[in-house]
Amino acid sequence: MDLPIVCLPGDGIGPDVVDAAERVLERVAERFGHRLHVERRDFAGVAWDRTGTGFPDETRAACAGAQAILLGAVGDPRHDVLPAAERPERALLELRRMLGAYANLRPIKVIRVLDSSPFRPAAIEGADLLIVRELTGGIYYGEPRGIREEDGRRVGINTLRYDVREIERIARVAFEAAGRRRGLLLSVDKANVLESSQLWREVVAGLASNYPDVRLDHMYVDRAAMEIVRDPRPFDVILTGNMFGDILSDEASVLAGSLGLLPSASVGAGGGLYEPVHGSAPDIAGQGIANPLAAISSAAMMLELSFGLKDEAAAIEAAVTACLRGDVLPRDLGGTAGTTEITDIVLAAL
Ligand code: NAD
Ligand code: IPM
Ligand code: MN
């Protein structure tokens, strides 16, 4: 089949890891008899440098009609001084919203506990969780927002709000995911303090009777942050809002071994958006040492969720697992191999 994808390499290590994922997609297409069509577009910081906007119209047009988008990373310290609305990160928020990609799926699996891990193998081996993060609402988007002057003093304002419809649709995604996994759903909120969380908890609980095979529990986010590292194995699916999901997923990446391993898929109304959980990693950008496995696994999620190609996705996952079980490892996992070397190992396994 034809596999049309839009690629947004973005900033920092983004182009390196997207190149790696594209090489893997090409190999899979060749092996399984598909035709990959890649359309590359400027996005975020690089787009701002070239055109004065992080989300140029031609990128917008390409993304609006896309079945699947592969994104590297956004963000460049040089742009941290820009007004909030012009920052590369805001382009990403706009893209997610434009796509209606409200459900961000972030799987975390402990495949191998290396010496570089701060965890004892006995404490985390076998952990396998999925964070279902609400992606197009909450405090990232709520109005009013901004920095303004009140009574001669500057105030920074953000608004955390969720309406019933937003909560219901993300909760359904999480219930269904739990139904396909071990049947355990944990909704994480801050309902002891926040009204938005009280509504969240009420709406999620109200849906539970539609999913008799799923056991629903609730936990406050502060405790969840602790339990995830104390004993991650009881966790199956974690359902949570935009900001809590952002924070918990970076934390949980340490279980897998590194942020450089965590893929994500963002789905909802239209085309899917696939991106590693990590950012542009300015501290290692341009050195050819970024771990490409998160981007490669994101490409696997794309094949499965946007194109229905389960075998192809499984082949990539198996190749990534083989790489992780081998002796040659990327730097973030305590090895010395660069981006190209790791990608070559995955390609060889394919
Ligand atoms: P980061 O995720 O870019 O990096 C955090 C740490 O993890 C760094 O030490 C980095 O070197 C390391 N790391 C990340 N990905 C790696 C990989 N693939 N291989 C090896 N090491 C890796 O987070 P940060 O430093 O807080 O943010 C840097 C920039 O990225 C900021 O501009 C931020 O806004 C942006 N950001 C973007 C995204 C995204 O595009 N989805 C996500 C997070 C942060
Ligand atoms: C992520 C990132 C983004 C987020 C930023 C760059 C907008 O941290 O995808 O996890 O907070 O969603
Ligand atoms: Mn993040």
Nearest protein Cα to ligand 1, atom 26: 279
- Helix orientation angle between 310-325 and 339-349, rounded to the nearest 10 degrees: 120
Q: Calculate ∠ Cα 53-86-306, nearest 5°.
A: 70
Which parts of the chain have pLDDT scores under 50? none
Given this model, what pLDDT does residue 210 score?
A: 98
Confirm whether 250 is a catalytic residue: yes
Nearest atom, ligand 2, residue 90 CA? 7
Confirm whether 109 is a catalytic residue: no
92 lines ligand 2 (CB under 6 A): yes
Confirm whether 190 is a catalytic residue: yes
Query: Residue 11 Cα, ligand 1 centroid: separation in angstroms?
Result: 10
Dihedral sign, Cα of residue 36, residue 41, residue 44, residue 49? positive
Confirm whether 211 is a catalytic residue: no
Nearest protein Cα to ligand 1, atom 23: 279
Identity of residue 329:
L
Confirm whether 140 is a catalytic residue: yes
Best mutation site among 11, 55, 71, 89 for ligand 2, i.e. most ligand atoms within 8 A of its Cβ? 89
Closest CA to 243 of 344, 104, 71, 115: 104
Nearest protein Cα to ligand 1, atom 11: 281
Query: Residue 222 Cα, ligand 2 centroid: separation in angstroms?
Result: 20
How many angstroms separate the Cα of 261 from the Cα of each of 108, 161, 216, 342, 348?
9, 31, 28, 12, 19
Instruction: List, for residues 75-120, the tens digit of each pLDDT value.
Output: 999 999 999 888 999 999 999 999 999 999 999 999 999 999 999 9
Which position among 189, 190, 274, 332 bears the catalytic label? 190
Given this model, what pLDDT does residue 71 score?
A: 98
Burial class (CB in 10 A: 0-12, 13-18, 19+), 187: buried
Given this model, what pLDDT does residue 77 score?
A: 94
Given this model, what pLDDT does residue 270 score?
A: 85
Tokens of 249: 């997923």
